[in-house]
Amino acid sequence: MKVLVTGGLGFIGSNFCRYMLEKHPDYELINVDKVGIGANPANLHDIENDSRYTFIKGDICNPQLMSRLIHQVDAVVNIAAETHVDRSIADPNMFLQNNTLGTFTILEAIRRHNHKARLLQVSTDEVYGEAIEGSFTEETPPRPSNPYSASKAAADMFVLSYHRTYGLNVSITRCTNNFGPYQLPEKLIPKTVIRALRDLPLPIYGKGTNIRDWIYVGDHCEAIGTVLEKGKPGEIYNVSASNEKTNIDIVKTILAQLKKPESLITFVEDRPGHDIRYSLDSSKLRRELGWMPKATFEQVLQSTVEWYLKNEHWWTPFATDVILHPTPWKLGGLR
Ligand SMILES: NC(=O)c1ccc[n+]([C@@H]2O[C@H](COP(=O)([O-])OP(=O)(O)OC[C@H]3O[C@@H](n4cnc5c(N)ncnc54)[C@H](O)[C@@H]3O)[C@@H](O)[C@H]2O)c1
């Protein structure tokens, strides 16, 4: 099987490429990534010379490139996206282009040039919007709160419509907040480690009571692989591991591990449209496809923090923005 992975130099993409090559020795992967904000070529140094792996620097919004690549593969796993909510508030257009039009370009390339290719669209729990109580199922209508989640929800709608209208073989995964190695330092967990190590204040939006449902990136990669292989065409699968934590709890746990004082925590004005809680019901994926998360939250949070401590050379080139600009949405765009 030959698979085109988009956004494979980012956090989830790089973990997914490594997972797939380990799990399926007979698979070939093409990774197309524009080497944008979330990318780090160092994420995949260890597989760069693997004969089953090819990297192509390119944009999923380029129709010629997508047609040429999709023509050669059996499946596409679309992981590429602009992903930071704060940045989407500062520059929404970039999110519409990359997330919605990028997905549309892939769908068109499949429709026109390789109708049999399977598409796995990697989406997010954020498309459902805020969960005041209970947990969202796949039947819950999307109600995105910010330009990032709106751009992902719009992409999902195109994906489903290409199944209904043109019969494309598509499935969607919607996952909760990921953490683990190789995550861009502007996200909560690596940012907390990096700033705490330098004894810098840790800005927390509002009172830090926003709840996110966390999942280890390895479990997410396994879920993507499972849905790619066994998911039904036209179906959505929620992915979650039932680890609902407030942001302040996550930060305090990391500070305790690093033996840094809680006085580093500073509360800053909340960002607009900040969802108070996300929560997913992933029983469909567990029941129908037999996926189960394997990681124990406390253990993998600890090992993730240790990974950042051991791999300072990896994140140092990315650390400047994180140190200088902890809350990007106020800056009217960073780049
Ligand atoms: N991180 C999470 O907690 C989380 C949770 C659920 C879903 N997701 C979804 O998973 C995907 C990956 O998230 P991530 O955290 O790894 O992001 P990331 O920012 O670390 O990586 C995104 C990658 O996509 C690439 N990219 C962006 N636009 C592109 C384009 N037009 N053409 C080619 N490459 C492009 C970037 O260069 C980068 O390498 C996203 O679709 C996101 O919505 C993420």
Residue 273 pLDDT: 78
| Predicted pLDDT at 185 | 87
Decide whether any atom of ligand 1 lies within 6 Å of the 241 Cβ: no
Within 8 A by CB and 6+ apart from 103, the residues are 60, 78, 121, 155, 158, 159
Distance CA(180)–CA(71), nearest Å, equals: 33
Which residue of 43, 77, 79 sits with most ligand 1 atoms within 8 Å of its CB, as the best mutation to test the pocket? Answer: 79
3-state class (DSSP) for residue 39: coil
How wide is the angle at C-alpha 50 spanned by C-alphas 47 and 51, nearest 5°? 155
Query: Whole-model pTM?
Result: 0.95
Q: Shortest CA distance to 12 belongs to which of 155, 212, 225, 192?
A: 225
Domains of the chain in start order, with CATH, are 2-179+215-239 (3.40.50.720), 188-212+244-277+296-326 (3.90.25.10)
What is the whole-number distance in angstroms between the Cα of residue 88 and the centre of ligand 1? 13
**According to the model, what pLDDT value does residue 334 have?**
30
Q: Which of 328, 323, 330 is nearest to 200 (CA)?
A: 323
pLDDT at 245: 95
Reference 182, options 7, 8, 14, 5; nearest CA is: 14
**Hey, what amino acid is at 80?**
A
* SS3 of residue 213 by DSSP: strand
Q: What is the DSSP letter of 237?
A: E
Asked whether 5 lines ligand 1 (CB < 6 A), one says no
CB 229 within 8 A of CB 306: no
C-alpha 128/C-alpha 112 separation (Å) is 31
Tens of pLDDT along the chain (335 residues)? 999 999 999 999 999 999 999 999 999 999 999 999 889 999 999 999 999 999 999 999 999 999 999 999 999 999 999 998 888 999 999 999 999 999 999 999 999 999 999 999 999 999 999 998 999 999 999 999 999 999 999 999 999 999 999 999 999 999 999 999 999 888 899 999 999 999 999 989 889 999 999 999 999 999 999 999 999 999 999 999 999 999 999 999 999 999 999 999 999 888 887 888 989 999 999 999 999 999 999 999 999 999 999 999 888 877 776 666 666 555 433 32
Looking at residue 57, what is its pLDDT? 98
Ligand 1 center to 68 CA (angstroms): 22
Cα 126 to Cα 113: distance, rounded to the nearest angstrom: 31
What's the pLDDT at 331?
41
Indicate if ligand 1 lies below 6 Å from the C-beta of 190: no
Rg (CA), the chain: 19
Number of other CB atoms surrounding residue 242 within 10 Å: 15
Q: How much distance in Å is there from the Cα of 141 to the middle of ligand 1? A: 23
Please state, in angstroms and as integers, the Cα–Cα distance from residue 32 to each residue in 9, 68, 122, 149, 314, following that order. 8, 12, 15, 23, 21
Please list the residues that pair with 283 across neighbouring strands.
none
